[in-house]
Structure 1
Amino acid sequence: MIVRKLRLKRGWSQSQLAEMAGVTTRTIQRVEQGHRPSLETCKALASVFEVDLSLLQPEDEPMQNDTELKADEQRALLYAKRMKEFYEFLITYVVLGAVFLVVFHGEPVVYIIFAGLGVGLIVQGLIAFEVVSFMSPGWEKRLAEKKLGRKL
């Protein structure tokens, strides 16, 4: 939270800040951990830091937007991870394919192995490009709702 940044910027300990603001050290710890401070605590801290009270007062709306943003970020990171895995597999498939074709040219077992790996590559590509949503976050949520017997 901003209180910790302001405190560290001034080089104060939690106990020093608590003494100057007229609150307990535990109150400072709770505020720094993200707990909602009372109006009196906010006024005392604003006075000590010489900042506007609105800077220290938490608002409900941004917290909800942050939660939604984090869910969006998680989906984006999952998508990026799947794409990375797909391209790694594709590069491995191409490099090993070239090496094995040169070394084992004409052996039918090589063609069978790479046909199987090719099918795996296609499936992974479909999952990475979200054509098939196998074990997606939505799937996990539906499974959890089914287990609980209620909506999350």
Structure 2
Amino acid sequence: MMVRKLRLQRGWSQDQLAQLSGLSVRTIQRIERGQKAGLESLKSLAAVFDVQVVDLEKEVAMTTDQECFDEERRVIEYVRDLKGFYSHLLIYIVVISGLFVFNFTVSPEFVWAKWVAFGWGVGVISHGLSVFEIFDFFMPNWERKQIEKRLGKKL
């Protein structure tokens, strides 16, 4: 994690850091994800960043801290959920618009597309309420409690 922070502070890409340190881009990626780095890799990075190897070793060891990973995982899951909701909403708008056009083209005397819009709209609204955490029904706290209950220990 410190490697990533140091790299970003200097405005370097992973490719640039790899060239400066003599390491492969893949090695840089692994280290930034928290995998254990070899001593030679740490020496190369310490030389590039002008820090002590011991400082990098401590920081790399800290990146395996579970709280850090849990927080990152929660943020990543939230962003994925948000992306899923916006995709769902966009698909809803496109398909329902198409259905209304089709409905008024084929049988304008009976508006059946409103029932599809209503039914699917309920699903979109419940998806939005879930993503934006307006209701806490079946949310992460509920999931965590259920997992703890089944494992018999606190997470």
Query: TM > 0.5 between the two?
Result: yes
CA contact (8 A) 2:129 2:135 kept: yes
Deviation at 1:116, TM superposition (A): 0.2
Distance in 2 (alpha carbons) for counterparts of 1:89 and 1:114: 13
SS of residue paired to 1:83: helix
Distance in 1 (alpha carbons) for counterparts of 2:114 and 2:53: 71
Verify: 1:142 aligned to 2:141, yes or no: no
Partner of residue 76, structure 2: 77
TM-score, with length taken from structure 1: 0.58
Deviation at 1:59, TM superposition (A): 6.9
Deviation at 1:93, TM superposition (A): 1.2
Verify: 1:103 aligned to 2:102, yes or no: yes
1:83-114 alpha-carbon deviations (Å, 9 max, x no partner): 11111111111111221111112334311111
CA contact (8 A) 2:85 2:131 kept: yes
Change (3 A) 1:72 1:59: closer
1:35-55 alpha-carbon deviations (Å, 9 max, x no partner): 9xxxxxx8xx98xx9995634
Distance in 2 (alpha carbons) for counterparts of 1:108 and 1:56: 66
Distance in 2 (alpha carbons) for counterparts of 1:59 and 1:101: 58
Distance in 2 (alpha carbons) for counterparts of 1:68 and 1:79: 16
Partner of residue 28, structure 2: none
Return the match for 1:123 from 126, 140, 143.
126
SS of residue paired to 1:80: helix
Matched ranges for 1:43-58 at <5 A: 54-55=54-55, 58=58
Distance in 2 (alpha carbons) for counterparts of 1:56 and 1:117: 52
Deviation at 1:61, TM superposition (A): 8.1
Distance in 1 (alpha carbons) for counterparts of 2:53 and 2:87: 51
Q: Gapped runs of 5+ residues in structure 2?
A: 4-17, 24-34
Matched AA of 2:138: M
Change (3 A) 1:52 1:94: closer
Q: After TM superposition, which residue ranges in structure 1, 4 or more long, deviate above 6 angstroms?
A: none
Kindly tell me the number of residue pairs found equivalent between the two proteins.
Answer: 117
Q: Gapped runs of 5+ residues in structure 1?
A: 11-32, 36-41
Question: Which is higher, the Rg of structure 1 or of structure 2?
Answer: 1
1:41-89 alpha-carbon deviations (Å, 9 max, x no partner): x8xx98xx9995634754798357x432221111111111111111111
Change (3 A) 1:59 1:87: closer
SS of residue paired to 1:104: helix
